[in-house]
Chain A
Amino acid sequence: MTLKHLLVAGTMLAGLALAAPALTAPAFADDVTKGPHGETATPGESIQLSPEQIEKVKAGKFTAGLAWHTTSNWSNAVDQGAKDEFAKLGIEVVATTDAGFDAAKQKNDIETILAKKPSVIISLPVDPETAPEVYKPALDAGAKLVFIDNTPKGFEYGKDYVTISTADLVQMGAKAGEALGTALGGKGTVGYIYHDADFYVTNQRDQSFKKTIETKFPDMKIVAEQGLADPTRAEEIAQAFVTKNPGLDAIYVTWAEPAEFVLAALRNAGNTHTKIVTLDLSEPLALDMVKGGNVVAISADEAYSIGTTAANAAALGLIGEKVPPFLAAGAIAITKDNVKEGWNASLHRDPPASLGVN
């Protein structure tokens, strides 16, 4: 996910983030990823079609439109997952759009797609608040809707949309925490750079990381915390952390883009001791990781399977089957040792050649 993808979640209802972690918290396993309306997550891979259902879908000669919020590495993987799965199901993708994070453009996109009369539209809403007007023409035209990550405000599960397909945010944070704990041998000091905004995507990921460190690794301690709104400021924050805590063992960064700035700060300071752990794949960070640099782990969601899950759910919705309201794809911690497998699990393709692991 890119920064902008994360910002998409910006207007989600407040208060969905997990309760502030406490050392006395009960077992970590109690925490699960919650949807934008508090839905409990169902594993995405559990959404499968029986051979009879597949035949029924194929006989329906359905068509689909894909209306993305933007195009990025991440959205491309989701897009490819959906397209591959639709191809298997005999559903023709008739249009693909990119709203460039502009809600007005997304409304245009939906209107345009509807000229092709798709049976179903898979879409990530740019802005839940104004999204009802964006998707209303689709409902009026009788198209089924499957959403990624969040839904238009006021839309009802089962009536207005089939389901939400998304990443398992808590798992992503937890895997980052576990990978760092393993890399540091279970002890050391950590600087924590979290996303300082009311965005349920980053909030759940950040807090899950923190809770993992605090509950699973008693000999690890978060000695510095700083919120971040502008990724480019991560460089200054990292410098401040290391200045105040010489010998700092690791820094957690809320997503890849600011982590690249943290890496720059450490490199400029000639610091090879402080490790970095972050979320979402990035080639520069992975390159540092395979070269044995500061980056020790990158936690990523299985973006491709968010797409396949959405396509399967769409197919089930089209033949009138009920799908659970909130489907979460798994997460994977990528380290030096599993770059190739990790890249494939997340984006369904091999890592860039520069990493030299193919």
Chain B
Amino acid sequence: MSSKPLSLKGLDPAQYVVYVGFLLIFAAFAVVLRDDGFLTANNLVNIVQQTAPITIMAIGMVFVLTSGEIDLSIGSVVAIAALVAAVVMRTMPWPVGVAAGLGAGALIGLVNGALVAYVRLPSFLVTLASMGLLAGVGRWLTNLQSVPVTNDVYTAIFGAGALFGIPSLILWTVIGVAVGHFVYRETPFGAHVLATGDNPRAARAAGINVDRLRLGVLVLSSMTAALAGLLYAGRLHGARYTLGETDLLTVIAAVIVGGTRLNGGTGTVVGALIGSLMMGMLNNGLILMGLSVAEQMMVRGLIILAAVALTLREARR
């Protein structure tokens, strides 16, 4: 952990590089793809909608990484929460399904958190193990079968619906980021997360219950992953064990590019949103450019590398 003083409320260059990068990429696509539909309202709305689950998970990940921990199990939690919710909704009203899905996430977070905070195992290994364990549970739960979700209210709230003309996935993004940002910046919990990530011993000495805090961030992260799972199930009108499988690295990339340090002590929720949108915009723009899949992967990799290099160079002192 670094010994950097806890003075991050001011402007840290690492935290605005992402905005510059985002605008540059946006401008580049806007010029190159001006005739390819990139700037249409529909396409831009699509990008925000498509990144909603990643953004929600990124919010949880900001807290986890800031506190100096990591949660590798989020991808598996996505599938479990979606499957649990879908199975419960077969026979019960949709709010019960939602509660069951979120409850599954909370339970997983509690187990992860307890092993980290009280059994004192490293979060990397605990969540690596639960990632594998839960991937197996997801496969076993429904015997590899997809589970349809037919409740129209549920799919409207968590998927394709809209309120006052604003798509529900965009509302989830806005609410999630607003709440996440507020908690991170304005509450004692947020301050304690920062303090713990910056220097756990000092935080403990200052009277912060570091163990409970570690438990808290892992529960939070797991529950954001569960919410992401509910969003996927709403969007696809069904759940499947492969949901979220490839999301972990996208979430981590979005959060790091956004200006949160992998080793703790610094973070930003709004930056994570921008990082997530950047990932979605890259996927979208590179497809619209008509690149082959291999070319898309190479270009995306290079751009992410450049973005991370910029962010981390600024962050290192």
**Residues of A with Cβ closer than 8 Å to B?**
10-11, 68, 71, 93-98, 100-105, 107-109, 111-113, 115-117, 126-130, 132-134, 197
Contacts and interface: CB of A to CB of B under 8 A. Distances in A.
B290 A94 contact: yes
A157 B23 CA distance: 45
Interface of B: 36-38, 40, 42-43, 46, 50, 53, 144-148, 232, 235-240, 242-243, 245-246, 280, 283-284, 287-288, 290-294, 296-297
Best-buried of A95, A107, A113 by chain B (most CB within 10 Å):
A95
B290 A68 contact: no
A103 B240 CA distance: 8
Given A11-B144, A96-B293, A104-B243, A112 B283 contact: yes
A71 B246 CA distance: 15
Nearest to A99: B246
Contacts of A117: 37
Contact of A133 (B238, B284, B293): B238
B246 A129 contact: no
B146 A111 contact: no
Given A104-B53, A108-B283, A112-B46, A132 B242 contact: no
A104 B146 CA distance: 13
27 contacts: A10-B144, A71-B294, A93-B290, A95-B290, A96-B291, A96-B292, A96-B293, A97-B293, A98-B296, A101-B246, A103-B236, A103-B242, A105-B246, A107-B50, A108-B46, A108-B283, A112-B283, A115-B40, A116-B37, A116-B288, A127-B240, A127-B242, A129-B147, A129-B148, A130-B148, A134-B236, A197-B144
A198 B181 CA distance: 47
Contacts of A134: 236
A49 B185 CA distance: 65
Given A97-B287, A112-B284, A127-B240, A68 B293 contact: yes
Given A112-B50, A115-B36, 20 more contacts: A11-B146, A95-B288, A98-B296, A103-B236, A107-B236, A111-B50, A112-B283, A112-B288, A113-B287, A115-B37, A115-B38, A115-B40, A116-B288, A126-B242, A127-B146, A127-B240, A129-B147, A130-B146, A130-B238, A132-B237
A78 to B, nearest CB: 12
Nearest to A83: B292
Contacts of A97: 287, 293
Contacts of A71: 293-294
